[in-house]
Structure 1
Amino acid sequence: MGADPQIVEEAKWRKPSNPAGVPTWSREGIICTGETYKDKVKLTFAQGAALDDPAGLFNTSLEGNTRRAIDLFEGDVIDEPALQALVREAVAFNLAKKKR
């Protein structure tokens, strides 16, 4: 994630049914995870409900109190500046939470 050079990418939650694990990006807490499905890739922001999303990237998991997600389908065009802004906001949220 080019939005912040201090973001750590790793695979978490490996299990027999998913030996590769779940791609996870974090800095002072999880920013988002990536899950692959037959028809889409889902980016789930751990604290997405607390983030401002002026570009309207969040398009699923909108009813929860904590997480928000972006489902990406084949052929979708990603608004990279908006996604990077969302990632930077998630980092700022995690850093502010750490200071409390």
Structure 2
Amino acid sequence: MYRKEYIPAQPVDNSFRMADLQGRWKSSFGSPEVNVVRNGNGYRITYSYSTGDSITTRIFRYGGTVFFNLYGWIAIYYDPLRDVLTLSTEGDYYRAED
């Protein structure tokens, strides 16, 4: 039977500034493109599918976790040194070139 090698989770610092998330992000694995914008007092994330459909929802910060609700909680992590956005269900996203 095949068994995957266990890779321990890396420590994550979720004290990043929400303003750093703003912009368009693309996945190198074919996941939907995301766009993070400021809306009033908070931030919103938009998933844009290749079919032209898009879903926009609010981003929350609660108890040290940054997440949004899209058929369940999806955690957001940001690495300011590499400028990489990570979604718990989709993997790494890189800032889109304008």
Bigger helix share: 1
Bigger strand share: 2
Q: Please give the TM-score of this superposition, normalised by the length of structure 1.
A: 0.35
Q: Which has the larger radius of gyration?
A: 2
Q: Please give the TM-score of this superposition, normalised by the length of structure 2.
A: 0.36
